[in-house]
Amino acid sequence: MSESGKLLAAIRDAIASGDAGGFERSVHTMRGMLRSLSAIAADELARVLQALDPRADRKRAELVCEQLEQAVDGLKAQLTSLAEAESSGPDWRAAPDTRTAQAALDSP
């Protein structure tokens, strides 16, 4: 997700300049990133965006790009929340208390 800001900026720039090649590359890369995260809603917006021609459908592309930005921002917030919850939770790497496990095995 660290590249999402650059990709969104490249998409916006390609829409503004009518650069179909740059638009296609940037949206394609964004879709790959979103699919790798199983971000279904954001990927669907990127799919819709990818189907547009930035020259012929400029206003619609700008609107869908804005929606995609909002979806990516929401995804970033969710990932940050998960990372914070993970870091504040118990340390699962700590050695287990083998006495409890052995007691469970020894009991009838």
For the chain, the domain total comes to: 1
Q: What is the pLDDT of residues 48-77, one digit of tens each?
A: 999 999 999 999 999 999 999 999 999 988
Is 100 part of any domain?
A: no
Q: What is the pLDDT of residues 21-37, one digit of tens each?
A: 999 999 999 999 999 98
- CB count in 10 Å sphere of residue 4: 19
Is 88 part of any domain?
A: no
Is 38 part of any domain?
A: yes
Domain that holds residue 31: 1-77
Is 58 part of any domain?
A: yes
For 46, 74, 81, 102, the CA distances from 86, given in Å and listed in that order, are 29, 18, 9, 29
Is 92 part of any domain?
A: no
In our burial notation (b when 16+ CB lie closer than 10 A, e otherwise), range 84-101 reads eeeeeeeeeeeeeeeeee
Is 93 part of any domain?
A: no
